[in-house]
């Protein structure tokens, strides 16, 4: 990619972007395309699109023990292994070493991190949903936390801009709680999913079953340097086709093509520098990850896109006479209101029929059932607020279940060649409310290898979420049973914050500087040339995957920053 600076000169830029993931890539693209000379800082290693996806084309037999985690991997990722998917030999390289990057837990918090160019845009689930006015107005309606300073009409054109660029496949439903996107052709449901869809529509009012809305290229529209999804379902290894959106395959190359981007990996930003005379930020302090040398880089505008936890950690460390408790923290809301989505609850069952039907490929997507609770009228519940959706899918079993029967000879050979029966599962995906006592703090007594304070989490689900989970399981069982499935079993496993991988809310937006950190344009109330556009800015969580919303707000904030720069306001 771009040229790197490792010398001790204090380079000056129009803009600095911290982080290269979903939000950082969009900030870099938008600022560079508007003509700003932009320094993009990534704390992790360099990764090159295609070239560094080292496991993307490997089959199970290419890995020792079919890719099961090695003892060495498990020893390096003891916390992240709690999720069950970060330690495979096929994808463990995208997740950090817990021992080198420690954090502390008063209450359990599962923090999955990817420190490399591209960030977690290489690992995300690609589910892409717009928020509605129901979501943006929920806090005000329920009297919870603070009101969002924006509404759907403010963000809708930015959703459209992002969708047209990244490519979102899906089906239009015309639902008030889930606005339609600018869609590429939807992926197909298989026969059992179609049967489930039909039976749920017959048995329940207001519960459409659709294919998930995902940032995967389908159809014939051209996307520069990216091609259509190949249905390999190896997305988490990195996609050499660029079929799913990542900053590495899309926004960062776009930023580089302008000639305005300087990308510097291995650059740990730990402080934003404040000038008390101008009441503006003047740059950032950086520690080189490899050499541990210290640097300062200057800029007129700064975008923090390092993740909800990392960006807030930077602001907390940015102390001065004006901000003794962290930059922009007059409200004492910095680090509070941690949200995620709670999951791990739902149901599954077996389906008799369609024995002559199968499907081709490994579709990297499943069915989606949009929120149907607390939308007014008969949908309202008195035992909890907000709502949830479901993700899931149907598939046929494989030969492994036959081996368990210990068959022999010809019968075994015949059985191995015959697909197993159909099963289907749906898992709930619920909203977590913003609680002021769900928070993160910094521990200056426990420092990392670079001498920086470590994060301490003290957050968990509360009564509202646990009440919701009962309904999530019961409703899943009810839908599968009414759709004709047998041996339906509900499940509600151990869960906690972090498992949804959607950390949000630690530097929330708001209308009042006394109760929020950021204004309606994602800028700090009291330092208007510092913008935060990752999950930290979220004021509530809704029940849908948030990445599309991060991207839309980032594009909008970059547009605002450029206009303010041209006016001389920042």
Query: For 263-318, what is each residue's pLDDT tens digit?
Result: 999 999 999 999 999 999 999 999 999 999 999 999 999 999 999 999 999 999 99
Asked if residue 501 lies in contact with residue 112, where contact means CB atoms within 8 angstroms, the answer is yes
End-to-end CA distance of the chain: 30
Q: Which residue has the higher pLDDT, 493 or 534?
A: 534
CA distance 160 to 164: 6
Relative to beta strand 530-532, strand 294-304 is parallel
Helix then strand then coil, in percent of the chain rounded to 5, is 30, 20, 50
Question: Across the chain, what does the average pLDDT equal?
Answer: 94
pLDDT at 4: 47
Torsion 318-323-329-334 (CA) sign: positive
| Cα distances (Å, whole numbers) of residue 133 to 142, 232, 371 | 14, 36, 14
| Cα distances (Å, whole numbers) of residue 127 to 170, 343, 564 | 10, 15, 33
Domain identity same for 366 and 328:
no
Domain identity same for 281 and 196:
no
Domain identity same for 445 and 470:
no
Both tokens of 403, joined, read 């081996």
Domain identity same for 356 and 411:
yes
**Which of 487, 536, 569 lies closest to 306 in space, CA to CA?**
536
pLDDT at 82: 87
Both tokens of 330, joined, read 């007059």
Domain identity same for 48 and 100:
yes
> What would you measure as the largest C-alpha separation in the chain, in angstroms?
85
On whether residue 4 sits in a domain, the answer given is no
Which region among 140-154, 213-227, 402-416, 452-466 has the lowest average model confidence (pLDDT)? 402-416
On whether residue 352 sits in a domain, the answer given is yes
If one counts the domains in the chain, the total is 2
Is it the case that residue 6 has pLDDT exceeding 50? no
Summarize the confidence of residues 394-408 as an average pLDDT: 59
Domain identity same for 446 and 307:
yes
H or E segment to which residue 444 belongs? strand 439-447
Query: For 40-75, what is each residue's pLDDT tens digit?
Result: 999 999 999 999 999 999 999 999 998 898 999 999
Strand partners, 427: 346, 391
385 torsion bin: left (phi>0), alpha (psi -120 to 50), beta (else): beta
On whether residue 235 sits in a domain, the answer given is no
Residue 141 carries which DSSP code? H
CATH (domain of 330): 3.50.50.60
On whether residue 138 sits in a domain, the answer given is no
Radius of gyration of the chain (CA): 24
> Which domain covers residue 474, as residue numbers?
175-225+341-431+462-492
Is it the case that residue 259 has pLDDT exceeding 80? yes
CA distance 248 to 252: 6
Both tokens of 293, joined, read 């040398």
Rounded to 10°, the helix 152-166/547-567 angle is 110
pLDDT at 360: 87
Please give the backbone phi and psi of residue 154, each rounded to the nearest 5 degrees, phi first.
Answer: -70, -30
The tokens 């963000």 sit on which residue?
A: 155
Domain identity same for 21 and 113:
yes
Domain identity same for 206 and 293:
no
Both tokens of 235, joined, read 């997305």
- The pLDDT-based confidence of 336 (bands split at 50, 70, 90) is very high
Domain identity same for 28 and 94:
yes
Domain identity same for 212 and 350:
yes
- The pLDDT-based confidence of 358 (bands split at 50, 70, 90) is confident
CA distance 18 to 286: 10
For the chain, what percent of residues have pLDDT higher than 70?
A: 95
Which region among 33-37, 81-85, 161-165 has the lowest average model confidence (pLDDT)? 81-85
pLDDT at 85: 79
- The pLDDT-based confidence of 473 (bands split at 50, 70, 90) is very high
Strand partners, 532: 304
| Cα distances (Å, whole numbers) of residue 448 to 113, 142, 186, 390, 415 | 15, 41, 45, 39, 54
| Cα distances (Å, whole numbers) of residue 434 to 34, 439, 517 | 35, 10, 14
Is it the case that residue 410 has pLDDT exceeding 60? no
The pTM is what? 0.95
| Cα distances (Å, whole numbers) of residue 87 to 80, 140, 570 | 8, 41, 44
| Cα distances (Å, whole numbers) of residue 568 to 12, 193, 300 | 18, 56, 10
On whether residue 195 sits in a domain, the answer given is yes
pLDDT at 1: 43
pLDDT at 377: 94
On whether residue 250 sits in a domain, the answer given is yes
Asked if residue 529 lies in contact with residue 281, where contact means CB atoms within 8 angstroms, the answer is yes
Domain identity same for 361 and 412:
yes
CA distance 371 to 471: 12
On whether residue 154 sits in a domain, the answer given is no
What number of residues does the chain have? 570
pLDDT at 417: 62
Is it the case that residue 7 has pLDDT exceeding 50? no
Domain identity same for 297 and 423:
no
On whether residue 238 sits in a domain, the answer given is no
Q: Where are the beta strands (DSSP E) in 305-371?
A: 341-342, 345-351, 367-369
CB atoms near residue 67 (< 10 Å): 18
Is it the case that residue 462 has pLDDT exceeding 60? yes
**Which of 552, 557, 510, 566 lies closest to 532 in space, CA to CA?**
557
């Amino acid at each position: 990619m771009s040229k790197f600076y490792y010398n001790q000169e204090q380079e000056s830029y129009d803009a600095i972007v911290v982080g290269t993931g979903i939000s950082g890539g969009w900030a870099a693209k938008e600022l560079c395309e508007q003509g700003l000379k932009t320094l993009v800082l990534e704390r992790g290693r360099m990764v090159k699109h295609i070239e560094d996806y080292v496991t993307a084309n490997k089959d199970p037999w290419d890995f020792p023990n079919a890719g099961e985690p090695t003892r060495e991997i498990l020893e390096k990722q003891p916390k992240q292994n709690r999720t069950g998917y970060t330690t495979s030999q096929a994808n463990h390289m995208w997740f950090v070493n817990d021992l080198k990057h420690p954090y502390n837990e008063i209450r359990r918090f599962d923090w999955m991190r990817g420190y490399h160019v591209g960030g977690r845009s290489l690992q995300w689930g690609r589910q892409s949903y717009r928020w509605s006015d129901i979501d943006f107005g929920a806090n005000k309606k329920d009297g919870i936390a603070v009101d969002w300073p924006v509404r759907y009409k403010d963000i809708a054109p930015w959703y459209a801009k992002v969708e047209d660029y990244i490519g979102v496949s899906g089906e239009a439903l015309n639902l008030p709680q889930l606005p339609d996107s600018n869609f590429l052709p939807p992926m197909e449901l298989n026969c059992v999913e179609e049967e489930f869809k039909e039976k749920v529509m017959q048995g329940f009012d207001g519960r459409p079953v659709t294919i998930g809305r995902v940032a995967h290229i389908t159809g014939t529209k051209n996307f520069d340097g990216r091609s259509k999804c190949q249905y390999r379902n190896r997305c988490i290894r990195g996609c050499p086709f660029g079929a799913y959106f990542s900053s590495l395959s899309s926004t960062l190359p776009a930023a580089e093509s302008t000639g305005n981007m300087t990308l510097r990996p291995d650059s740990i930003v730990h402080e934003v520098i404040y000038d008390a005379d101008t009441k503006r930020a003047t740059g950032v302090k950086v520690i080189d990850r490899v050499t541990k040398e210290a640097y300062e880089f200057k800029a007129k505008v700064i975008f923090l896109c390092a993740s909800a936890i990392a960006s807030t950690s930077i602001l907390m460390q940015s102390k001065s006479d004006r901000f003794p408790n962290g930059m922009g923290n007059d409200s004492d809301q910095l680090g509070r209101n941690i949200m995620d989505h709670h999951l791990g609850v739902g149901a599954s069952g077996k389906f008799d029929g369609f024995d002559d039907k199968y499907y081709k490929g490994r579709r990297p997507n499943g069915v989606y059932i949009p929120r149907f609770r607390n939308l007014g009228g008969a949908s309202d519940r008195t035992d909890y607020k907000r709502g949830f959706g479901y993700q899931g899918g149907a598939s046929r079993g494989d030969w492994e279940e036959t081996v368990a029967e210990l068959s022999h000879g010809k019968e075994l050979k015949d059985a191995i060649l015959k697909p197993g029966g159909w099963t289907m599962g749906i898992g709930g995906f619920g909203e977590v409310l913003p609680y002021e006592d769900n928070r993160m703090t910094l521990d200056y007594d426990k420092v990392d290898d670079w001498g920086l304070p470590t994060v301490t989490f003290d957050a968990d689900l509360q009564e509202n979420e646990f009440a919701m989970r009962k309904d999530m399981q019961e409703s899943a069982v009810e839908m599968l049973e009414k759709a004709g499935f047998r041996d339906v079993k509900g499940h509600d496993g151990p869960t906690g914050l972090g498992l949804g991988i959607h950390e949000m809310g630690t530097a929330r937006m708001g209308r009042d500087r006394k109760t929020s950190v950021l204004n309606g344009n994602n800028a700090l109330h009291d330092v208007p040339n510092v913008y935060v556009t990752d999950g930290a800015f979220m004021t509530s969580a809704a029940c849908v995957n948030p990445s599309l919303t991060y991207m839309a707000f980032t594009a909008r904030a970059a547009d605002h920053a450029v206009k303010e720069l041209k006016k001389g306001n920042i």
